Amino acid sequence: MKNLAKFLLFVLVVSVGISLLYDYRLKHGKLELLPRRTSEKYTFASEPAINPKETASLEALNQERRALVKSVIPSVVAVKTSKKIGIRRQYGLGPFEFFFGSPGGQFNGQPDQALVQNSLGSGVVVTNEGHIITNNHVVDQVDEIEVQLSDGRTKKARLVGADPQLDLAVLKIDDPGVKPLKLADSDTVQPGDFVLAIGNPFALQETVTDGIISWKGRPDSTDVRGDLLQTNAAINPGNSGGPLINLRGEVIGINTAIASTTGGSQGVGFAIPSNTVRTALESLLKHGRIIRRYLGIQTRAVRPGQSAGDGDGVVVEEVVPGSPARSQLSRIC
Q: Tell me if residue 163 is catalytic.
A: no
Q: Which residues of 168-188 are buried (b: 16+ CB within 10 A; e: fewer)?
A: bbbbbbeeeebebbebbebee
- Name residues whose C-beta falls within 8 Å of residue 167's C-beta, 6 or more positions apart in sequence: 135, 136, 137, 256, 257, 272
Domain spans, the chain = 73-172, 186-287, 297-332
Residue of 75, 167, 186, 265 marked catalytic? 167
Q: Tell me if residue 283 is catalytic.
A: no
pTM above 0.75, yes or no: no
Q: What is the DSSP track for 93-131? A: --HHHHHH--TTS-SSS---EEEEEEEEEEEEE-STT-E
Cβ(269)–Cβ(234) below 8 Å: yes
Residue of 75, 102, 186, 240 marked catalytic? 240
pLDDT the model gives residue 34: 64
Cβ(122)–Cβ(148) below 8 Å: no
SS3 23: helix
In 141-247, DSSP assigns E strands to 144-148, 154-156, 158-163, 168-172, 194-199, 207-216, 229-231, 243-245
Closest alpha carbon to 135 in 15, 32, 272, 309: 272
pLDDT the model gives residue 268: 95
Average pLDDT per run of 10 along the chain, which is 333 residues long?
70 76 64 72 93 95 97 97 75 44 46 74 97 97 95 96 95 95 97 97 96 81 72 96 98 96 93 96 88 70 63 72 67 63
Q: Tell me if residue 187 is catalytic.
A: no
Helices (H), the chain: 2-27, 56-72, 95-100, 136-139, 274-287, 324-332
Distance CA 79, CA 100 (A): 41
Instruction: Say if 73-172 and 186-287 have the same CATH topology.
Output: yes
Helices (H), 251-321: 274-287
pLDDT the model gives residue 318: 78
pLDDT the model gives residue 81: 96
Residue 183 per-residue DSSP state: B
CATH of span 73-172: 2.40.10.10
Q: What is the CA 10 to chain-centroid distance, rounded? A: 69
Distance CA 282, CA 278 (A): 6
- Name residues whose C-beta falls within 8 Å of residue 25's C-beta, 6 or more positions apart in sequence: 31
Q: Alpha carbon of 143 to those of 116, 118, 173, 200: distances in Å?
A: 10, 10, 16, 21
Residue of 137, 186, 265, 274 marked catalytic? 137
At the second CATH level, the architecture of 186-287 is Beta Barrel (2.40)
Give the burial class of 294: count Cβ atoms within 10 A of its Cβ; 0-12 exposed, 13-18 middle, 19 or more buried: exposed
Closest alpha carbon to 277 in 174, 186, 200: 186
Distance CA 271, CA 242 (A): 9
Beta pairing class for 297-301 and 314-319: antiparallel
pLDDT the model gives residue 102: 44
